[in-house]
Amino acid sequence: MDFQPVLKLSEIIENKACLTVFEGREILVGVTNKGYFAIENKCSHQGKPLTGGRIRHGHISCPVHGVRFNLETGAAVGKLTNKPIKIYRARANEDWLEVCEISA
């Protein structure tokens, strides 16, 4: 798959996820001190949106139950679920954040 632009870099605030659409699906994108990230906007615990979740130490917390997910791997942290969330490749290209689906 090819990278596709999803959001202007000027719209991204460090440690805050921005909601956007990629290939018809809602995803969250952003940047931390570890780099750019792109993840699905759905908690694997109960399918609730991760929009508004707190980002700290390379993880996002579900705003409903607090389940944390690693922004690089999608791995769940905690006891409520061990099911990871989907992640995407993300990169900066000129003025845009670009996203690409990761092959299975």
99 neighbors 90 (Cβ within 8 angstroms) = yes
3-state secondary structure of 73: coil
What confidence tens digit (pLDDT) does each residue in 32-50 have?
Answer: 999 999 999 999 999 999 9
Distance CA 40, CA 10 (A): 21
Task: Read off the pTM.
Answer: 0.93
Confidence of residue 25 (pLDDT cuts 50, 70, 90): very high
Question: Domain coordinates of the chain in residue numbers?
Answer: 4-92
Q: What is the pLDDT of residue 103?
A: 66
In this predicted structure, the answer to whether residue 104 has a pLDDT above a threshold of 60 is no
What confidence tens digit (pLDDT) does each residue in 44-79 have?
Answer: 999 999 999 999 999 999 999 999 999 999 999 988
CATH H-level superfamily of 4-92: Rieske [2Fe-2S] iron-sulphur domain (2.102.10.10)
Q: How many CB atoms lie within 10 A of CB 73?
A: 11
